[in-house]
A and B are shown apart, each in its own frame.
Chain A
Amino acid sequence: MQHDTPPPAPFLRKLLDSPELMIFGSLILIIVIFMIMAPAAFLSGINLRNMAIEASMMMILAVGMTYVIVTSGIDLSVGAVLVFSSVVSVITMRATGSDAAWVPVLGLVVSLLSGAAWGLINGILIARARLTPLIVTLATMGVALGLARLLTGGIDLTGVPRSIVNSIGIGRIGGIPVIVLIACIFAIIGGVVLHMTRFGLYTYAIGSNEQGARRAGVKLQRHLIIVYVISGLCAGLAGYLTLARFSSTTISGHSMDNLKAITAVVLGGASLFGGIGSMYGTAAGVFIPVVLASGLIIVGLPSFWQEVAVGMVLLAAVLLDQYRRRSRSS
């Protein structure tokens, strides 16, 4: 056989090569610190549930964002698409004037379709018209949010069917909030597809070398469009879940969602240059800001420290990615 055995990597090198490991390590470290400082409050059922729900909502957006970033794209429109989808969903459900059991299902379908449609627009402009993802999604972000405000006059809509709020918004199965279960299932499916299927492989191939992927027979345009549709679908689902959670739209509450989702994905070891990233890394990346925010409040520090800390960790993550890229492309 012709295979040289690789030299045993020193521990530090291994750690540097595996950003997911570092982020999981940091997450566990933070959790341990808060557990020591304030075990009772930090580990209380209500705090755990709140953290899990916060993280779950963000995870749903981050699943789609992981795909987008692995292709070396970006999707700034997710928060606005979330809002738009929840608005059209409520409007549709109210328009039925019924509280039959099919109305919430209709609302879900409308929300998902709305998200997918925005994703399709993003995807077509990026893949077919060859515009940069940053500009395209910045534009659709503005359009989607503006339209949502026009549709509502800027005032949040209530009238979300009670059954959605009860079954999903505050519902629990075996003590676990339904939203958390949905997010878990969603993330697992997203991870399995990304890491184990041909679709996932092509997503990495495109992010690594678009030309090369095309020459190897990957249907580049179609694949990119599907990736942005996935991101839109995630935003649509998240929009529906926010309705269930707050029993109204939350038009002005999602202006930072796009950046938070990107932060989570990058914290999780994904590279903005594409080709690198993982769903389990993203899952850890989602929890870090959430755990920091709640833990800092519990130990009595201003929660603004969370923003400072997340910003610094983000910088560290990007620097590390840069370092890894330099050290290998010799």
Chain B
Amino acid sequence: MTIPILSARNIEKSFGQMRAMQGASFDIHKGEVVALIGDNGAGKSTLTKILSGVLAPDSGEIYVDGKLVSFGSPLDARSHGIETVYQDLSLALDLNAVQNLYLGREIAAPGVLGRLGFLDKSRMRINAQESFSRLGVRVPDIRAAVANFSGGQRQGIAVARALMWAKRVVFMDEPTAALGVAQTRNVLELIRRVRDTGVSVVLISHSMPDVLAVSDRVTVLRHGRRVATYTTSAITSDDLVGAMTGALEPEGAAA
């Protein structure tokens, strides 16, 4: 049994009265695609934020390569090679695609200017253009504010940003929600390609065909708990719907 590259144990998180995480656990191994599914409000985004360092859990543990860690900020998670496509995309709409891609990780200008805070804009632009075309993400105008783009185009930029930097795990919180058929297929293809480079992917999606098409395993959340984990090749869409809607007991609840 290999050690998961990222796992969570008994995560609890409440927002006031609302118990969003009620002892959730989660595991992902190197180079696999795990689909994280569950009904609206099951806690998928909350778990994603906790494992991305955005939210601190009330209790529970997070392990990276079997070692206990705690994420005080998104930077901590990032330093472990974890990147995230947030459900709200988390783009700065008034900045352009290049600035969004590099936000927080700008390339400094060479020499003294760089130390004064000046940036190497042309290098970032060239690298970004290269990344976008390698990832097949269409950016209508590389200098225009992202606000001018369609929902699907923005999603493409957010996906490209996460994939460009991820070393260990990419969380994708409904990355295809605003995408058409062709663009969705492109994202699924990207997920496979990323997986083949040894980076693991957590895909959150409400689309069962997408989940079945791309994932190696499926983890089902309900009421802030993991109710089941399946190997994708052994299940059907109906099994998953059953698990999400409550035909199964949460893990630990039975026996």
Contact = CB atoms under 8 A, between A and B. Distances in A.
Interface stretch (A81-89, A215-223, A286-294): A215-223
B219 interface: no
A275 B103 CA distance: 14
Contacts of B86: 215
Interface string A203-220: 011011101111111100
Contacts of B117: 193, 197-199
Contact of B93 (A197, A208, A211, A216): A208
Contact of A3 (B73, B138, B145): B138
Contacts of B148: 328
Interface in A1-21: 1-4, 6
A6 B141 contact: yes
Contact of A217 (B104, B108, B119, B142): B104
B119 A197 contact: yes
Interface stretch (B35-43, B129-137, B209-217): B129-137
Contacts of A204: 92, 94-95
A96 interface: no
A193 B140 CA distance: 28
Nearest to A201: B99
Contact of B104 (A208, A209, A218, A275): A218
Nearest to A325: B147
Nearest to B147: A328
A217 B105 contact: yes
Contact of A208 (B74, B88, B94, B136): B94
A1 B137 CA distance: 10
Interface string B51-72: 0101000000000000000000
Q: Which secondary structure dominates where chain B touches chain A?
A: loop
Nearest to A271: B94
A328 B141 CA distance: 14
B74 A214 contact: yes
**Interface residue tally on A, bucketed by range:** 20 to 34
A2 B103 contact: no
A329 interface: yes
B78 interface: yes
A196 interface: yes
Contacts of B105: 217
A78 interface: no
A201 B95 contact: yes
Interface in A289-330: 328-329
A201 B119 contact: yes
A329 B132 CA distance: 23
B171 to A, nearest CB: 12
Contacts of A209: 90-93
Given A208-B95, A214-B74, A329-B147, A3 B129 contact: yes
A275 B116 contact: no
A276 B94 contact: yes
A198 B118 CA distance: 6
A216 B85 CA distance: 11
B111 to A, nearest CB: 14
Contacts of B179: none
Interface string A174-215: 000000000000000000010011110100110111011111
A299 B175 CA distance: 62
B228 interface: no
Nearest to B140: A4
Contacts of B75: 217
B106 interface: yes
B5 interface: no
Contacts of A199: 117
A216 B141 CA distance: 22
B221 to A, nearest CB: 22
Nearest to B79: A217
B168 to A, nearest CB: 17
Contacts of A276: 94
Interface string B104-115: 111010000000
B92 A215 contact: no
Contacts of B145: 328
Contact of A196 (B78, B103, B118): B118
B190 interface: no
Nearest to A209: B92
B49 to A, nearest CB: 9
A199 B94 CA distance: 16
B144 interface: yes
Interface of A: 1-4, 6, 193, 196-199, 201, 204-205, 207-209, 211-218, 274-276, 328-329
Given A212-B89, A275-B95, 11 more contacts: A2-B139, A3-B132, A3-B141, A198-B108, A199-B117, A201-B106, A212-B103, A217-B73, A218-B104, A275-B93, A329-B147
7 contacts: A3-B140, A4-B141, A205-B95, A209-B91, A216-B92, A217-B75, A275-B92
What are the 7 tightest A-B residue pairs by CB atom distance, in nearest-first order?
A217-B104, A275-B94, A197-B117, A208-B92, A216-B104, A212-B90, A208-B94
